[in-house]
Every structure is written in structure tokens, then in C-alpha cells.
Amino acid sequence: MAVGASSRPEVTSQTDVDIKTQLRKHPRVGETLIETFLFVCGAVSILTTIGIVFVLAKESLLFFTSGGVSLTEFFTGTVWQPAIGKFGIWALMNATFMVTTIAMVVALPLGLAVAIYLSEYASLRVRSILKPVLEVLAGIPTVVYGYFALTLMTPVLREIFGDDVVQIYNTAAAGIVVGILILPLVSSMAEDALSAVPDSLRQAAFGLGATKLETATRIVLPAATSGIAAAFIVAISRAIGETMIVAIAAGAGPNFTFNPFNAAETMTGHIVRISGGDLSYDSIDYNSIFAIGLVLFCITLVLNIISRYVVAHFREEYE
């Protein structure tokens, strides 16, 4: 458009100027209205963010000012028992981190291996079959994974380690299934990063006598590090925010434990359980879910920002 605007004056005659001024002064109400409406649509997302921050901050503030819960208690306590006024977030956070760690142990190596296989080894035909399979896996609702964790993964674990060792609700089963849930996410993001590495690099490596494995692990993988790191961080963020699997399979009671075979409630699981009934407004329980939500929001937001920063600043450019 800038080109058109600047070239026009060169050919102006008297009448053209008239038309131009006419056109310029002619207020296009419709166009302006539409543009405003579209801007508002775009601004809805800003409003959403503001809404989230405002709501979380406001209710959390109420939680800390009214309930006799101090910030230090909240961030250092390991007991979460609203009935006796104990609100130590670590009881919940610890379970969240346990589930996330187990999920990562499952999803990161597997996801990366699948990505390398798909991008470097698999034939076109195999890829055309496998990618939709992974997409299907990614499209299954999390509540279905929750059913899977409770009715298959837990019995399998109990079969292997013994009924007296593994409780019916445990973070191990939930963690493994969360790992399966985010596996397609890791593999597809990592595969995108690997595929983005130009073929000339691979050809150069092959030309120097490198084997396929050497090319994949020493040339392509380092070149795609930033993308893969971003994938890992997004996966962690996703695992921390995952709700239904842990709500169904991890346990229904805050429990500060490092034993993955014991029941323990995560932050998200606690929010779901507490709000499952008819939660009365302005109760300490009601306010507490906003405080937990705020912590959750901050953790995931920071992780997402880091991931975007990693992609933007550590990307290897090859063009």
C-alpha cells in the first residue's frame, strides 16, 4: 500500500487532486467500524489474560489476608489440611513434581527417540502411517487417559510390585500415563525441530563418511537443540498443568511423600476435588484454589516464556 500512496502524486492533475481529497475526506464508517470490531476481537485475548491475573491475584490476596495464612507458611509448609488451618503448598507441589518427573522420565527419552526415528530413519511410508497414529494419541481426551491409568496401569503396577507396596491411587501410575499423554507432543515438536535442519548438513556429513547414527546424533541433533529444548520445556509445563489423569489416578488427599507408590494429591487434582461439590463462595477452600491456581499459572507461564526465549535466542540459523 505504501508504494501506491507514494506513486500517486506523480501523476496528479487538477481533477485527480479533487478526487483524492474527496476520497480522503470521505469517512468510511463501515470500514472503521469493522476494523474496530476486529481489534476488539484481538483484544479479547488481552482481556482474558488480565482477567486471569486479576482474578487469581484478588482472591489469593483475600486468602492470605483473611485466613490467617502467611506467605512463608504457604510456601514452606508441607502439610495441607484446611480443617486445622494448615496450608503448606509443598504437600501438593511435591506430588505435582513427582508426577511430572515420572512423566518426563517416560516421555523425554521415548519422545526424542521416536522423533529421531521418524525424522532420520523412517521411510516415507512408515512416516505416513506413524504420524497419524501419534496424532490420534494426542487427540484423545485426558479423562480417557485417566480411566486408562486407573483401570490398567495401576493393576499392572500392583501385579509387578505387589498389592501391599502399590496403593490403589499412586503417583507412579498417574506419572507414567501423563508421560504417555505428552509423548506425542514431545515427539512431534522435536521432529519438527529435526526436520527443520537443512538436508545439506546431512549430505555433508554423509560425504565425510559419517554413518546415519553419527549424522543424526552429532550433526542434526546439536543443530536442533534449541527446538528440542523448547519441546521439553513445553512438555514439562503441560505435565504440571495436567489435571484429569491425576484427579482420577493419583489420589484424593494431600500427602507429602516421596514414595511414588503412595497416594498423593497434586495441585490440579486438589482444585478439581475441592470444586467438585457445591463450593460456597468466600470460604477458605474457595479462596485457596485461587492461591494454588496462581502458583500453577506462574510456573507454567515462566516455563512457556523460557521455551520461547530458548527458541528465539539459541536457534541455529542455516540460511
Nearer to another protein, 44 or 105 (CB): 44
Shortest spacing between CB 3 and another protein, in angstroms: 10
Q: Is 111 buried (19+), middle (13-18) or exposed (0-12) by CB count in 10 A? A: buried
Residue number, 4 or 199, with CB nearest to another protein:
4
> Residue 281: helix, strand or coil by DSSP?
coil
Q: How far is the CB of 52 from another protein (least distance, A)?
A: 5
List, in sequence order, every residue forming a beta bridge with 80; answer none if it has no partner: 87
Q: How far is the CB of 316 from another protein (least distance, A)?
A: 19
Which CB, 72 or 313, lies closer to another protein?
313
DSSP result, 77-131: ---EEGGGTEE-THHHHHHHHHHHHHHHHHHHHHHHHHHHIIIII--HHHHHHHH
**In the complex, minimum distance from the CB of residue 37 to another protein, in angstroms, rounded to a whole number:** 7
CA distance 297 to 152: 31
State the cell numbers at 298.
506462574
Q: Which is nearer to another protein, 75 or 121 (CB)?
A: 121
Q: Are 77 and 88 in contact (CB under 8 A)?
A: yes
Q: How far apart are CA 212 and CA 122, in angstroms?
A: 12
By C-beta, is 118 or 174 nearer to another protein? Answer: 118
d(CA 183, CA 180): 5
Least Å distance, CB 281 to another protein, is 6
Provide, rounded to whole angstroms, the least separation between the CB of residue 6 and another protein: 14
Identify which of residues 76 and 298 has a Cβ nearer to another protein in the complex.
Answer: 298
Of 269, 266, 268, 273, the closest CA to residue 293 belongs to 268
